[in-house]
Amino acid sequence: MSITPSPATPVRSPAAVNADIRALWAAGPLSLEGEAEYQRLLVEWEAAVRSDVVAAA
């Protein structure tokens, strides 16, 4: 099951979300909180990529 942001939530660019993912991993191995944040960022990144694909179509 995929979770997507609500329409009222602005979607950041895939590059912006990717930068947050890279910064999270740059700190070293993820804690439980870091893992939860990573999962949230992956969902956000997927939504951002989909948004870019729809916009290009």
Q: Model confidence over 14-37: pLDDT tens digits?
A: 999 999 999 999 999 999 999 999
pLDDT at 48: 92
Residue written as token pair 């939860």: 36
Nearest to 50 by CA among 24, 7, 13: 13
Comparing 46 with 3, the larger pLDDT belongs to 46
CB count within 10 Å of CB 23 equals: 10
Question: Rounded to an integer, what distance in angstroms lies between the CA atom of residue 52 and that of residue 17?
Answer: 13
Task: State pTM to two decimals.
Answer: 0.74
pLDDT at 32: 97
